[in-house]
Amino acid sequence: MLTICRDLAALRATTTKWRAKNLKVGLVPTMGALHAGHLSLIEGLRPHVDHIIVSIFVNPTQFAAHEDLDHYPRTEAADCEKVETFGADLAFIPTIGDMYPNGFATNLDVQGAACGLEADQRPHFFHGVATIVTKLFMQTQADVAIFGEKDYQQLLVIRQLVRDLNIPITILSGAIIRESDGLAMSSRNVYLSPEQRQIAGRLNLILSDLANSLAPAHQAETEARQALLDAGFSRVDYATIRDADTLATPSPTTTARRALIAARLGDVRLLDNMRAN
């Protein structure tokens, strides 16, 4: 039976009981509009904990003024049903007032993995993510949290945050869940027109070519960029091979590499990434 908590007091009332019994608590932070990608994180977390909290909060501080905060899909009733079906114990759906009380004036400034790529397009983004995720860690006092590789840079930023601030939580990651044509599932895919949806399926193929290319990185990146434009993408924010641990440009000593793409179809921005040669 799913418990729904809409404020911090209700959340704490439940987690305090769990902690008193020495039970392990896991957290899946989300912005709702849940799909199979989110649900796979619940499954990935389950073997590691006794109780699972799924948080649903569309965090305003990670949206810029021109972004889609007001239109972001909100499907709370359906989300709660899915979360319950997948065996989570608690849905934490806080209000804006609980997350950002009047006079809120603290923001985490993250650097390192948070520099470049997404931050070049969305300079506010990782400060907002780091702040809200830290709040969720403190509020839930979870022992373990899980994040998707879909947002690869975000995953590295959160690992860095936890390491730098000595937050006592273990971070797990979940593989990217895709549609049958390879498009990474995303709450924002509902914005795609049927024609854009066709084009969107090409992203993963182009990413795969980039990741497996035997050409020098700069040449493979140029080819990927051109292939995206030829496929009908209106703009390419990046198509790049990076050090998988730091997101720096790979050096001869780099052992693991990651191919990452962000490209736009009209107003819809699509992200994808995979392990590279």
With vertex at residue 182, the alpha carbon angle to CA 210 and CA 199, rounded to the nearest 5 degrees, is 80
Strand, helix or coil for residue 262: strand
Is 272 a binding residue for ligand AMP by CB under 6 A? The answer is: no
Looking at 11, 25, 27, 31, which residue binds ligand AMP (CB under 6 A)? 31
What distance in Å separates the CA atoms of residue 259 and residue 277, rounded to the nearest whole number? 9
CB-wise, 73 or 254, nearer to ligand AMP?
73
| 4, 69, 167, 185: residue in contact with ligand AMP (rule CB under 6 A) | 185
Binding status of residue 147 toward ligand AMP by CB under 6 A:
yes
**Active site (catalytic) residues:** 38
Using CB under 6 A, pick the residue from 119, 148, 156, 217 that binds ligand AMP: 148
Location of structure tokens 């889609």 = 68
Residue 176: which of 18, 8, 56, 38 has the closest Cα? 38
In the complex with ligand AMP, which residue's Cβ is closer, 200 or 217?
200
3-state DSSP: the chain helix, strand, coil percent, rounded to 5?
A: 45, 20, 35
Interface of this chain with ligand AMP, residues 151 to 180, rule: CB under 6 A: 151, 174, 176-177
Site residue total, ligand AMP (CB under 6 A): 17
Q: Is 41 in the site for ligand AMP (CB under 6 A)?
A: yes
Q: How far is the CB of 74 from ligand AMP (least distance, A)?
A: 11
Q: Which is nearer to ligand AMP, 5 or 28 (CB)?
A: 28
Q: How far is the CB of 82 from ligand AMP (least distance, A)?
A: 13
Token digits of residue 167? 């937050």
Residue with tokens 């290319």: 213
What does R_g of the chain's alpha carbons equal in angstroms?
A: 19
d(CA 75, CA 33): 5
> Which residues sit at the interface with ligand AMP, rule CB under 6 A?
30-31, 37-38, 40-41, 147-148, 150-151, 174, 176-177, 184-187
